[in-house]
Amino acid sequence: MEKKEKSSLAERLFSLSIKDILNRDLYKHQIKPIPDRFRSAEEYRRCFVPHLLEETRTELSSTFKSLSRSPVFEIHSVEIKEGSGSSSNSVYEITLKNTGTINATYQPKCGDVIALTKERPRRIDDLNPLHLAYVFFSDGDLTVFVRSARAIPSLHEYPILPYKQNGHLIRFGVFLMNTTTNIRIWNALHNEDPSSTLIQSVLQENSLVFHFDDLKKTKKVASMAIGDVLPKEYGYVVIVVVLYCVLNFWMGFQVGGARKRYKVAYPTLYATESENKDTLFRLIFLVQQILYFV
């Protein structure tokens, strides 16, 4: 797997600029139709990773368009805990400013992606230059631990004295999205532990999985012509049934004509005016009745 593929989802997000996040075609050439069947876990991973990145980018882009309504917190202090502060592997402890109304203030949660800004953001330009951080631990209401895209200078003064980052004052953190589910999916796709069978169990290659090929075979059987299923002689059976129905209708008309001719109204079964009429009508009527029992 390439080095870029091994990076975490947070690191991939840190590498994006505002222009990248707003670019709908950023992953256009990487996204491919999801096949009905996968030959390997690597093919499965390469297919779904671009879709996951695009879904995350889309959610960030949507948040950018509604920044004025995004939750915001003020920074009280920043202290580096691990790393040199020159990479996204550095860990920072950020203490939030206590405004006295904690319940009404945004409290970052694990999995949140936040943007550090010089002022309370109202529009996309307020995020420039983009400085993202990922919250991986929350200790109480006012302390969070983050990994940042760039170094954050340590700050201990209170009340807060604005500090500079690349010539810009940074005082606020704004919520962009929670990536807990996205990161879990990313980690599952990139799990290289040989004992891990998550993707393999999903694929179940050459096992009892009902693949698309099987579905096509089923449809083919269901759509086979009648002549391929029934014997050729079965046509004679159909002819007999049709002729029987025609004969039955014809006999019904004959009985109807006899009733009119011999004046035998329905539902009377036999003629009563003379023995001759009764015998002739009875013969015609019995022939039709016999057909019902054939």
Q: What is the pLDDT of residues 223-279, one digit of tens each?
A: 555 556 667 777 888 888 888 888 888 888 887 887 777 777 776 666 665 555 666
Question: By the 8 A CB rule, do 278 and 271 touch?
Answer: yes
Query: Scanning the structure block, which residue is given the tokens 């004295």?
Result: 161
**Span of 15-29, 42-56, 131-145, 181-195 with lowest mean pLDDT:** 181-195
**Residue range 1-191, CATH number:** 2.40.10.170
d(CA 175, CA 17): 17
Percent of the chain with pLDDT over 70: 67
Query: Scanning the structure block, which residue is given the tokens 């390997």?
Result: 40
Percent of the chain with pLDDT over 90: 24
Give the residue extent of every domain in the chain: 1-191, 229-292
Strand partners, 164: 169
Measure Cα distances from 290 to 65, 251, 284 in Å.
85, 11, 10
Question: By the 8 A CB rule, do 165 and 153 touch?
Answer: yes
